[in-house]
Amino acid sequence: MRDNVRHRAAHPARYLVPAFVVLGVFFFLPTVFNFVYSLTDWSSFKSEIAFVGLQNFQDLIASGTLLSSLRITLVYAVLVALFQNLFGLLLALLLERDTRINRFARVMFFIPVVMSALAAGYVFQAILKPDGAANAVLGALVGHPVTIPWLGDTTWTLVVVALVHSWKWMGLSMLIYLAGLKTISEDVLEAARLDGASAWTTFRDIRFPLLAPALTFNVATALLGSMNGFDIVQATTGGGPARTTELLNIFIFRTFGQGLFAQATTMSLVLFVVVVALAFPVIRTLRKREEVL
Amino acid sequence: MKKYLTIPTAVIAVGLLAAGCSDPTAGGGAEPGAEPGTGSADWPAQDTDLTGTTLTIWAAQNSNTAPDAVVEGFEELTGAEVEVVTIPDPYEQGVQTKVATGDKPDLAFWQPTGSMLTALNAPTNLQPLDGAPWVDSYSGDLADMTGILDDTRYAALITSPAVEGVYYNKEVFSEHGITETPTDWDSFLETARTLKSDGETPFFEMGGDRWATQWWVQVQLADAAADGLWDRVNTGEEKFTDPTILGAIETYQGLIEEGLFNEDIKTATFEDQADALLSGDAAMAVQVNSFFGQLQAKADTEELNEKIGFFPISPTGNVGTFIPDQSNALVAFKTGDADREAAARQLLAYWLGDGYADFVADRDTISLRDDVPTPDSVPQALLDVHASLGDSVGSMQALAVANPDLYLYLADMIQGTTTPDEVAQQTQDQFAQLARAQGIEGF
């Protein structure tokens, strides 16, 4: 009891105020304003801001662009979650042992994570141009010139940019899977070996299930992070060709740039709601898998 | 403890909510329509001492060196300090966003069209430039061509406004015995078909970079624009989906399907377009002045005079479609500081006054004043562009109240994902949305 009192005296609640002020001003308040402005006609064209009720929502639903952008965003997020985890896991398994080469390789694969996303995007844009490096390499391999417009296909470009996104972030997934692999007890693996389990069986039945917490984190961050994706796609395709890679954030950026601030705010609110609506079931499902541990 | 924190948080939130719903740029009682205390149009002498005054000019990546000579001369003459700040591309979006949050320069490069002045909320944010000392010295009709919104002048035109028209490779033309440039739309297409049957690529379009796609539709609307098309569009009387504009979109698609354009139209870029025209891989491109700037970056005046020509085109003749852009003009902001506002007007007066000859020589550009000569080193094609301004008509950007992303929808069509009908419908929907945001009747 006395300990508790002393503890309280040393850490009074007012010490929390600065942290909460920062949280309030930079996180809580913008979110609240996001709600408020989406109900107005705020634009660059006039000074007054009037409440217009749900007009913005009605317009957005009626136009259909919102739904198509939302669909593209979801497909993109799922692809990124899939690729990023697949690559990250493969890299982690490949580089699991602490040899000097592996340590070097881990650093190399982590470098894209700390790189500027725009820089990465522009580099890939140059590589994937019809007369870029990717086609030059392919051309040298097959022996005749290749001019595949990697970023000019209305169906597959979305997959290509999702791969670029996954490439940039796979180092982070790798690191988390590596940490997860390290926590698996040697005893369990040794027991499996003694029972004659093959490497594949060990992975499928023991190591992968024990990686559940790492998988939860990786899938959730990749999925929800790429829902908010903007920089890589903006740098590689700018939403093209024919807006087949126009993520919701790019659509929002474009709308805001036209001076339709309220409409842009409404869209970002929709994105916020969708991310939240997606986050809870995804995280709950993944946490359920961990309960067996 | 939880209680402690929720109460103040809630109080802060509610307080800010109540205070929050106002535009930061609306401060200081500057209601549109009312004449505010600042921004009145008296014009200080060009050499008034400005020691201790710092002026800021916002410029885009392609216009940030334009003020160099003027700034140097002005600083020497007045003792003022002028800072040119580059706003990254996309410039217009960046400026609009900054202004919306209350951040304003003294001067900025800006597209002097009605739709773009509206986008900056000119009556509230910009200084009126009525009675400016330089206006009378413009050559021809340049004074009233652009920069005016609701009878108030807000922009100062410094360089020759861009014109949409056809840039062509003279060598390709003469190789195929074409000695006269086309005189109307039909002979224009006839020329293209002749070239095609000879195995050339008549037209080059940059579907990858997208923004030039709209010129093809706009030049076809020149006659209709002269006949008040955009006035009718502005009131909702005529729509993008009506036969005039939709027809132009369909014609454009028809020409693409006919194979008159480059094979890589879906992915080609602005740079590819310039390279193709210069090398003669393509014979013609419908473009604006900035395209010629790209050509100038690749070749010197002598080579350009030899290879590249320009002619305007319209359905029944050679009428150009003018489209002033951001590098053509400057606007002065109401910053609330009367001295700096006056200094900004003084800088504009110097730019288009005593400093104009230096500016024109430094930029190697066409003079807009009769009494300031255009340098001999300006390429012939640019002189032809300028000459076409006289009887040109306004583009969508110049005459429509809003500027929808027509180029984007056309690029979608080139990619094959939409039809001309859908392009027209999407453009109309967006136009209506922008018009409604401006509070225009009929939308």
pLDDT at A171: 95
Amino acid code (one letter) for B316 = T
- Which range of residues forms the domain containing residue A176? 70-290
pLDDT at B21: 47
**Interchain proximity A36–B21, CB inside 8 Å:** yes
CA–CA gap between residue A37 and residue A52 (Å, rounded): 10
Nearest residue in chain A measured CA to CA from B115 = A45
Please report whether residue A170 resides in a domain: yes
Q: How far apart are the first and last CA of chain A?
A: 36
Tell which of A46, A128, A254 to mutate to test the B interface (max B CBs under 10 Å): A46
Chain A CB contacts of B22 under 8 Å are 49
Please report whether residue A65 resides in a domain: no
Interface of B with A in 186-215 (CB under 8 A): 208, 210
> Which among A37, A253, A258 has the least Cβ separation from residue B434?
A258
Please report whether residue A6 resides in a domain: no
- Within 8 A by CB and 6+ apart from A41, the residues are A49, A50, A52, A55, A56, A262, B437
Cα-only R_g, chain A: 24
Strand-pair category, B163-169 with B54-59: unpaired
- pLDDT, block means (10 residues), chain A with 293 residues: 63 88 92 89 83 86 84 95 96 93 94 93 90 90 87 89 95 95 91 91 91 93 91 88 89 86 90 90 89 72
User: What b/e readout covers B242-269, taking b as 16+ CB neighbours within 10 angstroms?
Assistant: eebbbbbbbbbbebbeeebbbebbbbbe
Nearest residue in chain B measured CA to CA from A148 = B267
Please report whether residue A60 resides in a domain: no
Please report whether residue A4 resides in a domain: no
**Interchain proximity B9–A28, CB inside 8 Å:** yes
Chain A CB contacts of B412 under 8 Å are 242-243
Structure tokens at B394: 């306004």
Please report whether residue A2 resides in a domain: no
- Within 8 A by CB and 6+ apart from A243, the residues are A68, B408, B412, B417
Give how many domains chain A has, as a whole number: 1
pLDDT at B32: 39
How far B314 CA sits from the closest chain A CA (Å)?
Answer: 28
> Which among B5, B25, B429 has the least Cβ separation from residue A47?
B25
pLDDT at A8: 66
Interface predicted TM-score (ipTM) of this complex, two decimals: 0.75
Say how far residue A6 (Cα) sits from the centre of its chain. 44
pLDDT at A4: 62
Chain B CB contacts of A45 under 8 Å are 118-119, 121, 437-439
**Interchain proximity A44–B17, CB inside 8 Å:** no
Nearest residue in chain B measured CA to CA from A44 = B119
Please report whether residue A45 resides in a domain: no
Q: Is the distance from CB of B157 to CB of B146 less than 8 angstroms?
A: yes
Domains and CATH numbers, chain B: 46-161+325-372 (3.40.190.10), 163-322+393-437 (3.40.190.10)
Chain A CB contacts of B116 under 8 Å are none
**Interchain proximity A260–B433, CB inside 8 Å:** yes
Phi, psi of A29 (to 5 degrees): -60, -50
**Domain CATH code at residue A177:** 1.10.3720.10
Which residues of A sit within 8 Å Cβ distance of B? Answer: 13, 16, 20, 24, 28-29, 32-33, 36-37, 40-49, 59, 63, 129-130, 149, 151-152, 154, 240-244, 253-254, 256-261, 263
How far B240 CA sits from the closest chain A CA (Å)?
Answer: 16
What is the full per-residue pLDDT of chain B (443 aa) written as tens digits?
444 444 444 444 444 444 444 444 544 333 333 333 344 458 888 888 888 899 999 998 878 888 988 999 999 989 999 999 998 877 888 898 888 888 999 999 999 988 889 888 899 899 999 888 888 888 888 888 888 888 899 999 999 999 999 999 999 999 999 999 999 999 999 999 999 999 999 999 998 888 899 999 999 999 999 999 999 999 999 999 999 999 999 999 999 999 999 999 988 888 899 999 999 999 999 999 989 988 988 898 899 999 999 999 999 999 999 998 888 999 999 998 888 999 999 999 999 999 999 999 888 889 999 889 999 889 999 999 999 998 899 999 999 998 899 999 999 999 888 999 999 999 999 999 889 888 888 88
Strand-pair category, B148-149 with B393-394: unpaired
- Within 8 A by CB and 6+ apart from A275, the residues are A224, A227, A228
**Interchain proximity B93–A257, CB inside 8 Å:** yes
Please report whether residue A77 resides in a domain: yes
Tell which of B14, B23, B270 to mutate to test the A interface (max A CBs under 10 Å): B23
pLDDT at B385: 94
